[in-house]
Structure formats: structure tokens, C-alpha cells
């Protein structure tokens, strides 16, 4: 697992959370705990460390990881819990039928359910509380969220508040991401003065430090190249989406054109360059691995139905939507009165997140310029 955090701090935080999750509470069968902090601070990384801990695997009969995110589907969430618990939903789309499936799979079962990136506390009271209450004593739900109010509304018995990295820890993380091996990491100490200034610009945010580390890794241990990154105007780019650090924009700007296209359009077939006798699949795999190396994608080792499964951080996804707005459109729950405006736009790519998409798609079919639609 790739670490967004460094050294003893990650180990100590994970150990403390493991202890909280495994200690007995005779008052309730199912207890909620939470990890809280701003976007990009490492909540998911800490949760992954805890989830994979040997004591957790030994203490819980079933461990389930579900990515929730801001736009989530109740039925998809329930289906993912069913799959994570080892059951089969048979393609069922009805909440009224999926809830009993979840309840039956987890009744009398000591489980740990991780809900990563929760934006709405109603996911607990209105959806999950009842089907999960039959879990055996000691069952736990671990939530990651940016909003401490959500943890309170879900009545979390323990809240772990994430803190920004102190300068020395930030430098250690930058060093790790900017170098290829232990020998280079030692040699990088000669650039610590410049590196510490870069860490300061990142504001102690692990995601920012990681992505800038990916930029520096392409430069080698070259002082003038590091200072060029430090002086880049991209740090102060204005108008970025809320929570998106200038470091993320700089990381995007540093990408070669083919990787910018992959980042913005999810490496759809049209944007993979054909090169000699290398297949599109091989080229696409190379692009994918480079985006992983630059920390613009992160691997997710929790999907048994996929050999390789990765996720883009929400802040990076927000940046992608922002940067692609001139030739693509991201739609979330478009209302009827907005559809006429969509029809009048000149679009090449369209990404839709909505419960009902057929009417939108029928409107978009009027666009001669649209080359790709993602739902």
C-alpha cells in the first residue's frame, strides 16, 4: 500500500485506531468511529492501514470496504456491502430487497465496515443503521469524512482528527516520492533546503506533497530543476475549485500532453497514441502506471471483482472537471429547465452523474459535436 503519511506517526495513529476498534463495548452491538480531516490529508491512507492490520483481520469475521463519495447511489452502496460480505445480489436494484440481504448476511456476524468519504450523515440513520444492527457484539463501522458534524450526527463514539504534516515529516514524504530508491533518497538530503521550501508551499498537505514529489521525480536530483518547480507560477493559480491546492494544478501542468488527456478524460480509447508495434492496451497501461507513479491515481486493494482497481482523489477529480470545462461538461442531477442550456452548448465530452439519465442523453443526441458520453 502506498503511504500518504510517514514514519512513526502513521504507525501510532493506526495502532490507536486498531485498539479503539477492537476494544469491547458491552452497551451496543454496532458502534461507529470516525476519521475526520480536510481533503487530501490522508484519511483514506490511515483507514487502509487500519483495515489491513493483522489484529483487525483476526478480530473481525468479515471486513468490508465501501467508497461512498459525494454522489452515491443507495442501491449501489447496498450492493457493494452485499458483495463485500461474500454474498450475491443477483443484479437486484431494489432497496427494499437489498436491505434484507445485507441484514441476513451480517446478522450474528462480527464485522468491520469502512465507509470511505462520507458526505451525508443520512447514509447512517436513513439507510444503514437498521440492516446493520443485527451484527454480533463488537461489530464496528469506521467512517472517513471531511466534516466533523457528520461524525457527530452519526454518533461516533470516537473521532480521530487528522493533522497536517509537520515540516520534517513533510520533507520525508517529499523525499520518498521524489526519488526512485534508497540511495537517491540519501543523496536528496543535499537538496533539503530547497525541498523544505517546497514542503512549506504545500502547507503540510500530504496529497499536495505527494503530487509535487511525482513532479520532482521526473527532474532527478537537480537543484536548478527543483528551484524551477519552487518558482512556478502554477502555485498561485486562481479560480481553482474549493479545496484544490495549487500544487495539484502544478502537477497537472507538468504532465505531457498525452497524460493530460488521460487525466481529464479517463484514458478513453481516442486519447491513447498508437506508437509503432506497441498495442493500445500496452500504451494505455503505461499511461496508467505513470499516473499512479505521479500520485494522480491511487490503487484501491479492496475490490475482489477487479484485478487492478484505482481511484482518483476527489480533489483531483474536481480539478479535472474544472480544467476540462471548455470542451467537456460534467452534469450532476440536471433539472428539466437546465436541459435546454445543455443542448445549446458545443461539447466534445460529457460526464453525467444522475439518477435518471435517459432524458438527458436523448437531449444530448442532438449534439453533432459530442464524441463521448460517460455515465
Question: What does 112-130 look like in DSSP terms, one character per residue?
Answer: EEEEES---THIIIIIIHH
How far separated are the first and last CA of the chain, in Å rounded? Answer: 29
Residues written for the chain: 375
Which residues have a Cβ under 8 Å from the Cβ of 22 and sit 6 or more positions away?
A: 55, 56, 59, 138
Give the pLDDT of residue 344.
43
Distance (Å, whole) CA 129 – CA 212: 41
| Reported pTM | 0.74
Distance (Å, whole) CA 216 – CA 223: 10
Distance of CA 42 to the CA centre of its chain: 10
Q: Which of 89, 62, 77, 163 is nearest to 119 (CA)?
A: 77
Q: Per-10-residue mean pLDDT for the chain, 375 residues long? A: 60 96 83 95 92 96 92 91 92 91 96 96 95 95 97 96 94 92 92 97 94 94 97 93 90 84 54 49 70 73 52 75 60 45 47 51 52 49
Starting at the edge strand found earlier in the chain, the sheet holding 111-116 runs: 62-67, 111-116, 139-145, 30-36, 158-161
7-161 belongs to CATH 3.40.50.300: yes
**Residue 69: left (phi > 0), alpha (psi -120 to 50), or beta?**
left
The domain locations on the chain are 7-161, 325-375
Give the pLDDT of residue 191.
97
Grid cell in block for residue 51: 483495515
Amino acid at each position: 500500500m502506498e503511504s500518504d503519511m510517514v514514519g512513526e506517526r502513521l504507525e501510532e495513529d493506526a495502532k490507536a485506531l486498531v485498539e479503539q476498534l477492537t476494544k469491547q463495548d458491552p452497551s451496543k452491538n454496532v458502534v461507529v468511529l470516525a476519521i475526520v480531516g480536510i481533503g487530501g490529508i490522508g484519511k483514506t491512507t490511515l483507514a487502509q492501514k487500519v483495515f489491513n492490520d493483522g489484529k483487525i483481520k483476526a478480530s473481525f469475521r468479515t471486513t468490508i470496504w465501501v467508497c461512498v463519495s459525494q454522489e452515491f447511489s443507495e442501491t449501489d452502496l447496498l450492493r457493494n456491502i452485499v458483495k463485500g460480505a461474500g454474498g450475491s445480489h443477483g443484479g437486484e436494484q431494489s432497496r427494499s430487497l437489498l436491505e434484507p440481504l445485507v441484514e441476513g448476511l451480517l446478522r450474528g456476524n462480527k464485522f468491520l465496515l469502512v465507509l470511505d468519504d462520507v458526505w451525508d450523515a443520512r447514509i447512517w440513520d436513513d439507510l444503514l443503521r437498521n440492516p446493520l444492527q443485527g451484527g454480533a457484539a463488537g461489530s464496528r463501522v469506521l467512517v472517513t469524512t471531511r466534516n466533523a458534524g457528520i461524525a457527530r450526527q452519526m454518533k461516533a463514539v470516537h473521532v480521530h482528527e487528522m493533522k497536517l504534516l509537520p515540516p520534517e515529516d513533510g520533507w520525508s514524504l517529499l523525499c520518498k516520492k521524489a526519488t526512485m530508491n534508497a540511495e537517491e533518497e540519501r543523496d536528496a538530503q543535499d537538496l533539503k533546503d530547497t525541498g523544505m521550501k517546497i514542503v512549506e508551499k504545500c502547507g503540510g498537505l500530504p496529497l499536495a506533497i505527494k503530487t509535487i514529489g511525482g513532479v520532482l521525480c521526473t527532474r532527478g536530483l537537480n537543484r536548478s530543476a527543483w528551484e524551477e518547480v519552487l518558482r512556478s507560477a502554477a502555485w498561485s493559480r486562481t479560480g481553482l475549485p474549493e479545496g484544490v491546492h495549487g500544487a495539484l494544478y502544478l502537477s497537472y501542468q507538468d504532465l505531457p500532453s498525452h497524460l493530460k488527456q488521460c487525466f481529464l478524460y479517463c484514458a478513453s480509447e481516442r486519447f491513447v497514441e498508437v506508437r509503432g508495434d506497441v498495442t493500445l492496451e500496452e500504451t494505455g497501461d503505461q499511461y496508467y502506471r505513470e499516473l499512479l507513479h505521479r500520485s494522480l491515481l491511487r490503487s484501491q486493494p479492496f475490490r475482489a471483482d477487479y484485478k487492478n482497481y484505482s481511484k482518483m482523489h476527489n480533489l483531483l477529480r474536481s480539478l479535472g472537471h474544472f480544467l476540462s470545462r471548455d470542451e467537456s461538461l460534467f452534469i450532476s442531477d440536471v433539472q428539466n429547465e437546465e436541459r435546454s442550456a445543455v443542448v445549446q452548448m458545443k461539447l466534445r465530452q460529457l460526464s453525467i452523474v444522475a439518477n435518471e439519465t435517459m432524458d438527458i442523453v436523448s437531449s444530448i443526441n442532438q449534439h453533432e459535436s459530442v464524441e463521448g458520453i460517460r455515465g
